[in-house]
Structure 1
């Protein structure tokens, strides 16, 4: 399992165990309710998913780089769904 797969699996476990739906998870971590996850909000999601502190900053940057399709340096719901879709059930 690659590091990316491991991280996505931890995110999936967090979402499955603590939220009814991925959208509820997105809404929970979107603390300012603007419909987008900032790097700080993503770092909190990673912390709750038990991603090590050393990796959180790097991973949040890579998630934004990999899934931010409109170039605003944020992750909106559609981009979040695309990231979640990569997770193996």
Structure 2
């Protein structure tokens, strides 16, 4: 199973190599344009980052749990920026 660091590294590679800015990545994965990433949208991001399908659901839940600071069950832009900032460090 992938470690947290390996998963975050794959997400960082996806965002930095396929999008001009983190905001472009956020908008791309925010399929319904509501300004939040749902669990399904986070799973799509993980799929694009080549995270194994078997663990994708678990990882998406853990990412939302870890970065959803307002506890609404979604990752908004501010929370996404905080996650990206953590990944870069």
Structure 1-normalised TM-score?
0.95
Q: 1:21-60 alignment to 2 at 5 Å?
A: 21-60=21-60
Matches of 1:64 and 1:11 in 2, distance apart? 14
1:8 alignment partner in structure 2: 8
Helix, strand or coil at the partner of 1:87: helix
In structure 2, runs of 5+ residues without a counterpart are none
In the aligned structure 2, how far is the partner of 1:57 from the partner of 1:17? 24
Paired with 1:65 and 1:16, the residues of 2 have a C-alpha distance of 24
Distance in 2 between the 1:52 and 1:87 partners?
19
Q: TM-score, normalised by structure 2?
A: 0.95
Count of residue pairs the alignment pairs up: 88
**Residue deviations 1:54-83, cap 9 Å, x none?**
110000000010000001000000000111
Find the residue that maps to 1:32 and give its secondary structure: coil
Q: CA RMSD in A?
A: 1.2
Structure 2: how far apart are the matches of 1:44 and 1:11?
11
Q: Secondary structure at the match of 2:87?
A: coil
